[in-house]
């Protein structure tokens, strides 16, 4: 059995979410949308998901630049992690390198036959699934 975990892809107005089972399979994908920079709403929603599922480990995407440096998006993920760790020390947040996950997510949605007009609604949850699968397979976890 593998550890159950939640995958998260944090954007400026959305939180992509994916949830795994004890076999390490990703079954549940969704997105939570919030007003621009209202990250406390995303965190509150994440806490409700933790309570609902009982899962206490989350793989949070760390959007690094292609050269490995961190920009504003990476700082947003680090701040999310910092807030959760301060508020809820019972929840483990693991940062996972998410370079190119959005590209892979769009490709997965295209291969699945999704219409272009719908992709924007599902790309964050698909990215969260990729982040979660990477974590569960022992790849992509950052040391920072």
The CATH number for 22's domain is 3.30.420.140
- How many CB atoms sit inside 10 A of residue 83's CB? 14
Average pLDDT over residues 54-58: 94
- pLDDT digit string (tens) for 64-101? 988 888 889 899 999 999 999 999 999 999 999 988 77
Q: Alpha-carbon distance 37 to 1, whole Å? A: 37
Residues 6 or more apart whose CB falls under 8 angstroms from that of 101 comprise 9, 61, 127, 130, 131, 134
- pLDDT digit string (tens) for 126-135? 899 989 999 9
- Residue 142 inside a domain? The answer is no
Residue 76 token pair: 């947003």
Q: How many domains does the chain have?
A: 1
Residue 98 token pair: 């998410």
Q: Strand 92-97 and strand 57-62: pairing?
A: parallel
**Token pair 């007003």: residue:** 35
Q: Alpha-carbon distance 6 to 59, whole Å? A: 6
DSSP 3-state of 39: helix
Print the domain residue range for 37.
6-136
């Amino acid at each position: 059995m593998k550890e159950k975990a939640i995958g998260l892809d944090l954007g400026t107005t959305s939180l992509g979410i994916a949830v795994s089972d004890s076999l390490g399979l990703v079954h549940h994908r969704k997105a939570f949308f919030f007003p621009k920079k209202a990250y406390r709403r995303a965190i509150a929603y994440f806490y409700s998901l933790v309570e609902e599922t009982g899962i206490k480990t989350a793989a949070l995407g760390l959007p690094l630049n292609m050269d490995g440096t961190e920009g504003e998006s990476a700082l947003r993920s680090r701040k999310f992690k910092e807030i959760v760790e301060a508020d809820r020390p019972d929840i483990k947040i693991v940062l996972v390198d998410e370079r190119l996950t959005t590209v892979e997510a769009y490709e997965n949605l295209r291969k699945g036959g999704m219409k272009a007009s719908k992709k924007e609604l599902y790309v964050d949850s698909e990215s969260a699934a990729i982040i979660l699968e990477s974590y569960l397979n022992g790849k992509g976890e950052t040391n920072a």
